Chains A and B, each alone.
Chain A
Amino acid sequence: MTAYRLTVNATPLEVDVPGMRRLLDVLREELALTGTKEGCGEGECGACTVLVDGAPVDSCLVPVCQVEGADIRTVEGLAGVPATPGDPPVLDGLQAAFLRAGGAQCGICTPGMLMAARAYLDAGGGPDEDAIRDAIAGNLCRCTGYTKIVEAIAIAAGSRG
């Protein structure tokens, strides 16, 4: 066991775990951040996508020893804290767009889709369909609901100031 320091959703913290533990397991089992899903466990499906220093990665393929000192963002870190305590969290524009377009069916791929899309928008990505499809090429939706997911990301890209 080793103590690893990382920042998760803007909160600096320390976890005492074996270094080869998957970031996915640290998030879900140690930190109770179960928004991040395990799909295939081998880097094919993107359900476990989180951002490490802003870059999308499959958290099932990243051992925690490789994120010492890194800034991790998960789906739980998308919504903002409400102005009045007790109010519901303020949805990220991307989350609101997924709601509006109906960009979720069973929901298992959604956290990964949101994080891959967040990285795309953060890098300045626009509403172009081909570019969006390229950005989420590493995320599989087994409900095959891609059309509305792409629409949602385009809405979020288009409504940005």
Chain B
Amino acid sequence: MPVEPPVVSPHTLAEALDAVADGRTRPIAGGTDLMVALTGELGEPPERVVDLWGLDELRGITVGGDGIVLGALTTYTEIRRSALCREHLPGLVEAAATIGAAQIQNRGTLGGNIANASPAGDTLPVLLALDASFVLVSVRGERTVPSSAFWTAYRQTALAPDELVARIEVPFARGREIRFRKVGTRRAQSISKVVMAVAWRDGAGAGAQTHEWRDVRVAAGSVAATPVRAAATEAAMEGRAPNPETADLAAETLAGELHPIDDVRSTAEYRRVVAARVLHRIIREAGGW
């Protein structure tokens, strides 16, 4: 039988924050990762658990400030069905659709994907590419951490032991384009060998003949100990049009910049080659050549 640690199911966020204030109580959201730990399949089971599922305060997708705000308990199914997400965050909708299948998408949450901090988390490169920020909350108050500073080492995050992810903020950016691509063993139920999100804004003015890319973001998962942004590749692409020279340069820079590892799902060499090729193809398709 799986271990069954004691659990409390608070009805308010304040009660939940009190429950995690000791720094030794693990939160459970949709349970798609934590429940596997109970059977000993994946890591150590927690000592004590606080169940967040009943906290409607952490649900909902809204327009707030100058962007979209998603509650941490937003499920992948809710992201896929959200008109706001489909209009403003198509890359996130696409990523959500590739995670597990219906059963997982009905339970797994965006906040869970973020806090679980798997380098293969499929929404994480999208959040990096969209300059998302995470609002973390504890009995001590709230603070906001940019996604680019959140994953600090393998399965390590900026979350203090008494903090929860409360919500995810994705800023609007006029004219932003995003592309998402996941490479796995099969279409459903697979964990990524390489997952990538690329975002940019078309820098050309009206009537211009070329379309230089600005604010380029290249983010990838399953290619390092954490989800990463490829800073050198972004810099190499910045201000360039999506032509064959740019694609070659970007692919070459990315292949030199990434240092993936061999593991059960793939090899370092495969990941490096495929990541470079995926980026090359994204640029080619965007450039229409």
Residues of A within 8 A of B (CB): 18-22, 25, 41-44, 46, 49, 52, 55-58, 60-63, 65-66, 68, 116, 119, 134-135, 137-140
Contact = CB atoms under 8 A, between A and B. Distances in A.
B64 interface: no
A95 B189 CA distance: 25
19 contacts: A19-B51, A22-B2, A22-B38, A25-B1, A41-B2, A41-B41, A43-B100, A60-B35, A61-B35, A61-B36, A61-B103, A61-B104, A62-B107, A63-B7, A63-B31, A68-B9, A116-B103, A137-B189, A138-B102
B102 A20 contact: no
Contacts of A138: 100-104, 188-189
Given A66-B31, A137-B189, A20 B101 contact: no
B116 to A, nearest CB: 13
B44 to A, nearest CB: 14
A61 B202 CA distance: 43
B142 interface: no
Interface residues of B, number: 34
Contacts of B103: 43, 46, 49, 56-58, 61, 116, 138
A24 B9 CA distance: 19
Contacts of A52: 106
Contacts, number: 101
Nearest to B30: A61
Contact of A20 (B7, B54, B187, B188): B7
Question: Which of B8, B9, B41: most chain A Cβ within 10 A?
Answer: B9
Interface of B: 1-9, 28, 30-32, 35-36, 38-39, 41-42, 49, 51, 53-54, 77, 100-104, 106-107, 187-189
A137 B101 CA distance: 6
Given A20-B7, A138-B189, A43 B104 contact: yes
A157 B41 CA distance: 38
Given A22-B2, A42-B42, A62 B104 contact: no
B106 A57 contact: yes
